[in-house]
Chain A
Amino acid sequence: MNFVLIFLIVIFSSSLFFYGKSKTKSISIQRNIKLNALPKFYGYYLVLWSSIPALVFLLVWSLFEPVIIKSIIIETAANQGAIFNDKNEANLIYEKIKAIHLGTYFGDIDTILKESAISYSKFLNIFTNSKIVLIFVTIIASVIFSLKKIRNNNKAREDVEKILKGLLFVSSLIAILTTLGIIFSLLFESIKFFSVINIFDYLFGTNWSPQRAFVSDASAITTAEYEELKDAFGFVPLIAGTSFIAFIAMFVAVPIGLFSGIYMAEYASSRVRKISKPIIEILAGIPTVVYGFFAALTVGPFFRQIGESIGLTVSSESALAAGLIMGIMIIPYISSLSDDVINSVPQSLRDGSYAVGATKSETIKQVVIPAALPGIIGSVLLAVSRAIGETMIVVMAAGLAANLTINPLESTTTITTQIVMILVGDQEFDSPKTQSAFALGLTLFVATLILNYIAQRAVKKYREKYD
């Protein structure tokens, strides 16, 4: 339905292009005046005016229509005697009514549902018809308005450019809308979660096992139940596991990344650089699910075998395997960024150091790196935020149970793993378990935001210093 409407609007408004073009030509001949713009701009003007208001109207309407119809239907169903205690049951009844209307419901249909389904299709009809009428009115109104402008020989090019500039501005606002969307969707569920679980119990609890969190009625939780719940949602093991795996990753990535960055910036000939840099950057382009597969099926069992042969018990989902592979994934982030940073250290600093007799490595260690340090720290922080937000490697290669451990051979879990584990499969909305995933998401979002902010500030400060 909507697609047909969009199609018709587009066809209609693009046909207006030719009308506008020829109309203004004939006006200029009739009245013997000079047009204020090329005829095609009058065509564009009509096209924009006839399509944009109608399309915006259609978009807004389609966003609100289902919500309004739903509330009306639920209300009428309640008036007719349908019984539901909370939002979930109301939703269920609404879904049933919808399914009956579509003819895809095969359960028992009582009279209330039947009546509601009839009124549902009635409302749907009313809404669709009024939508079409209103869109029609919008188009007519905007076409009349723009035609009047055209007759008065307006400055069509400037007007078209103004409209297009508005369009450009709106496109750049989408980034803000996305951020707002993320914040609201995370906050909305997290607030519900924190209204059940005290935020301090969450932040400082040392036990994470959401699968135990059964709540009979989320609106009235008894003290005994709360004690149990509190014990299921402790954040400490997750942040410990996440930082531990990220630490192992950085332990691998920082030395390798930094040394390759230094070598490429200071030693490598342009030919070596030209070949090796893209190959190292392949590591950043490989999808993380591939690393996860490799870590889970090759590296994990390999470590386990080695462990067995020297008499150590190594979990096949060890933190070591996940961390090691994650570290390898991160190498190019560190090497490229530190390569850039080192390259932008002014040559005069190096020359000064050579002039007093330092070797190349001494210059690098004592002059170049200290000068580039803020930038290097920035790149490491960016890599850390990448590591704690990384999902697939840990989902596939790290464990599921939250252990508080610092033994790299044991399995631990991470924030991202838990989000995936909670939200995969059947979820009941409005249970603290589902909401906890959003609380975890919020924590992750805030943590990466802070890390990125600091890192970007560091890199920017450093760049300004040598510009």
Chain B
Amino acid sequence: MTKEQRLKKRHSAERRFRLYGIASICVALLFVLILVNNIFSKGSSAFMKTVIDVEVFYDPELIEIENGASEENIREADFYDITIETLLKSYPTKNLDEENELIDLFTTDAEIEIKKAFLENNNLIGKKINLEITSSDDIDQLHKGNYPRDLPEDRRRISNFQLKIYDTLVENNKINKNFNNYYFNNGDSRDPELAGIGGALVGSFYSIIICLLLAFPVAILASIYLEEFAPKNKITDFIEININNLAAVPSIVYGLLALQILLATIQLPRSTPLVAGITLALMTLPRIIIPCRASLKAVPPSIREGALAVGASKFQSVFHHVVPLSLPGTLSGTIIGLAQALGETAPLILIGMVAFVVDIPSTPIDPSSSLPVQVYLWSESAERGFVEKTSATIMMLLSFLIVMNFIAVYLRQKFEKRWN
């Protein structure tokens, strides 16, 4: 091999090596793209729901209440007969089977929706109004184009008769898409069209607030101690080793800790945001202490010495000068720690947040779910409608995380002083 050939070979090796680097960065970026695209394309349709236009006649013979009845009376009244009557009128049927199939096109909460319309205007007895009733999950998915029509009938969840009704309804412009209020207001449900993330949102909110209240003060006090006051001795070393190790302990171990100490020993109520918040606080504590210490360390010694020189005590120099200067870094570290806590699932599963909770929690000691746990729960469900709901919940979760991280970056860039 001549000199030129060798050089050429070496140079092409150089180019190849460089290419590997570019390729692997591209693979990582591509994956981010695929993931986000996949989630968004599946989930964005969940923010709309399919509604069917029907005509409701509040037949005085079928309701036991009169115009102007009090709210309590209406709530107790039975609207079942009217509901069935209304739904059956929307398409001609021949026998009981067909009637059942027709009723199955609507949500199981149709009665509540008809009652709600009456609650808003209680002078409707004997009158007819047009109402948009939420469709069942199957029709919803069919209308959004997520459901294949061309399967043979026995492998479809929708019968030929139901398809025929659907087509007629579409032809008559009776099927529309509305904003999906159930998705944001409702708790969990076995019916995909009624399931919502209201409960999970509230649960996550409580958990994160409790986590913040517990973890932030302790973390900042601990990092001030370790960075500013701790003498160099065995105890301090031991505390430091402990913090570093705790930051790397798998999150599920914190779940076991919570199960044994918080639930079995102290007997706090299961499945509640309170327990979740404490567990997450224990988990995020070391993850907040590490950036807090770094930002305290970044404040130059001249600041401390200046304060001491004009007669401040050690405490005053730290709390009047060092801590305020480190605040942008500490806060952004805390927010990033909280963002991790918000997406944490495994420990919450162990403390029983996987329980099926329909009600929206009103206090932190009510059973509840949380956003990531809701993702896990729905992803295990077989119904097609839940796939869309899960993706939408992931979208919500990711957008919260993006906002939190954005605030953290902004705080740091806007307020942090550069010391050199």
Q: What residues of chain A have their CB less than 8 Å away from a CB belonging to chain B?
A: 63, 66, 157-158, 161, 164-165, 167-169, 171-176, 178-179, 181-182, 185-186, 188-189, 255-260, 262-264, 267, 276, 279-280, 282-283, 285-290, 292-294, 296-298, 328, 331-332, 335, 359-362, 364-365, 382, 385-386, 388-392, 395-396, 416, 419-420, 423-424, 429, 437-438, 441, 444-445, 448-449, 452-453, 456
Contact = CB atoms under 8 A, between A and B. Distances in A.
Given A171-B222, A263-B21, A263-B25, A445 B249 contact: yes
B27 interface: yes
Contacts of B28: 256, 260, 279-280, 283, 328, 331-332, 335
11 contacts: A161-B313, A168-B229, A178-B257, A259-B20, A259-B24, A287-B342, A290-B397, A296-B379, A298-B38, A420-B252, A452-B248
B218 A171 contact: yes
Contact of A392 (B24, B29, B314, B376): B376
Nearest to A423: B350
Given A389-B251, A423-B259, A424-B349, A286 B398 contact: yes
Contacts of B114: none
B163 interface: no
A165 B229 contact: yes
A386 B247 CA distance: 11
B264 A297 contact: no
Given A175-B239, A294-B35, A390-B250, 9 more contacts: A173-B239, A179-B245, A280-B29, A293-B379, A335-B28, A359-B11, A361-B13, A389-B249, A392-B345
A66 B267 CA distance: 9
B221 A168 contact: yes
A456 B246 contact: no
Contact of A186 (B10, B245, B256, B339): B256
Given A171-B221, A392-B346, A441-B253, A286 B35 contact: yes
B375 interface: yes
A5 B255 CA distance: 30
Interface stretch (B169-177, B186-194, B281-289): B281-289
Contacts of B380: 396
B315 A164 contact: yes
B261 interface: yes
A285 B39 contact: no
Question: What class of interface size applies to chain B in its complex with A?
Answer: 35 or more
A74 to B, nearest CB: 15
Interface in B79-99: none
B225 interface: yes
A186 B346 CA distance: 17
A388 B252 CA distance: 11
A256 B24 contact: yes
B293 to A, nearest CB: 11
A297 B397 contact: no
Contact of B24 (A179, A255, A419, A456): A255
Interface string B350-390: 10001000000000000000001101100110000001001
B260 to A, nearest CB: 3
Nearest to B25: A260
B403 interface: no
Given A165-B229, A174-B218, A175-B239, A419 B14 contact: no
B251 A424 contact: no
A444 B315 contact: no
B253 A444 contact: yes
Nearest to A158: B313
Nearest to B266: A63
Of A164, A171, A175, chain B has the most CB atoms within 10 Å of the CB of: A175
Nearest to B236: A172
A264 B261 CA distance: 45
B151 interface: no
B343 A287 contact: yes
Given A63-B266, A297-B379, A420-B252, A449 B245 contact: yes
B256 A437 contact: yes
Contacts, number: 246
A359 B10 contact: yes
Nearest to A358: B10
B158 interface: no
Nearest to B20: A259
B17 interface: yes
Contact of B315 (A161, A182, A267, A296): A161
Interface string B23-36: 11101110110010
A146 to B, nearest CB: 19
A453 B45 CA distance: 47
B18 interface: yes
Interface in B111-155: none
B375 A289 contact: yes
Given A297-B379, A391-B345, A290 B252 contact: no
Contact of A420 (B11, B24, B350): B350
A257 B23 CA distance: 11
B67 interface: no
A175 B343 contact: no
Contacts of A456: 244
A258 B25 CA distance: 10
With a 10 A CB-CB cut-off, give which of A174, A255, A283, A292 has the most chain B CB atoms. Answer: A174
Contact of A259 (B23, B38, B225, B342): B23
A296 B21 CA distance: 29
B260 A188 contact: yes
Contact of B17 (A189, A290, A364): A364
Contacts of B10: 359, 362
A262 B21 contact: yes
Contact of B285 (A175, A279, A420, A444): A175
B310 interface: no
B320 to A, nearest CB: 13
A262 B17 CA distance: 10
A167 B225 CA distance: 9
A322 B256 CA distance: 23
Contact of A294 (B25, B39, B221, B238): B39
Contacts of A181: 257, 261, 282
A157 B225 CA distance: 18
B48 interface: no
A161 B319 CA distance: 11
Given A182-B253, A262-B21, A416-B346, A292 B260 contact: no
B22 interface: yes
Nearest to A189: B260
Contacts of B70: none
B343 A185 contact: no
B27 A175 contact: no
Nearest to A164: B315
B394 interface: yes
B299 interface: no
B243 interface: yes
Nearest to B252: A391
B239 A260 contact: no
A255 B17 CA distance: 12
Contact of A175 (B217, B222, B253): B222
A54 to B, nearest CB: 19
Contacts of A267: 18, 21
Interface string B400-412: 0100010000000
A364 to B, nearest CB: 7
Contacts of A444: 250, 252-253
A157 B313 contact: yes
A289 B285 contact: no
Contact of A287 (B29, B314, B372, B387): B372
B63 interface: no
Nearest to B224: A168
Contacts of B238: 176
A290 to B, nearest CB: 5
Contacts of A362: 10, 13-14
B218 A290 contact: no
B25 A264 contact: yes
Contacts of B345: 287-289, 391-392
